[in-house]
Amino acid sequence: ADLRLEKIVEFTGFISEEEKNAMLKETHFLLHTSVREGWGLNVIEANAMGTPTAVYPAEGLTESTLKDVTGIISNEQTPESLAECILSHLNDQAFYDRIRVAAWERAKTFHWSQVLPLACDWLESQAGR
């Protein structure tokens, strides 16, 4: 209420996994403005729904979002810089379509069937030291 955003932003509170996925499918970008992030699982979750991301240039986010491939990475960690990056691509439908497909394709590489064997192999190699 203090920010007076009620007319333009919906604060949902808790939502189910199904509701989250439905919302992500309808979203143009997932905005992630952490200045410090370990990885950004929600980036991959959004990508899996065909939603690219717009993120700050923070370690972790620059690994989960590939600049101009699966999303947009701002030049600085400021709302103004992120907005500028988004606005610079706003009317480029071909760019948006390309990063949307690339985000979805990349998200498939993080499926358990792809990731688990690699993780198990790595763990076994570490145990054998």
Instruction: Using alpha carbons, select from 73, 77, 26, 19 the residue that is nearest to residue 51.
Output: 26
Looking at the DSSP assignment, which residues form a beta bridge with residue 31?
54
The confidence score (pLDDT) of residue 113 equals 85
- For the entire predicted model, the pTM comes to 0.82
List, in sequence order, every beta strand (DSSP E) within the chain.
30-32, 53-55, 71-73
The confidence score (pLDDT) of residue 1 equals 58
CA distances to 47, 50, 66, 74 from 83, rounded to whole Å, are 20, 21, 18, 8
Tell me the domain boundaries of the chain: 17-127
State CA 49 to chain mean position distance.
Answer: 10
Q: Which two tokens stand for residue 4?
A: 């007076």
* Residue-level pLDDT, tens digit, the chain, 129 residues: 587 888 888 889 999 999 999 999 999 999 999 999 888 899 999 999 999 999 999 999 999 999 999 999 999 999 999 999 999 998 999 999 999 999 999 999 988 888 788 889 989 999 976
92, 60 Cβ separation under 8 angstroms: no
Looking at the DSSP assignment, which residues form a beta bridge with residue 54?
31, 72
The confidence score (pLDDT) of residue 48 equals 96
What does the alpha-carbon distance between residue 14 and residue 3 come to, in Å, rounded to a whole number?
Answer: 20
**Per CATH, domain 17-127 is 3.40.50.2000:** yes
Tokens 């491939």 locate to 69
The confidence score (pLDDT) of residue 23 equals 95
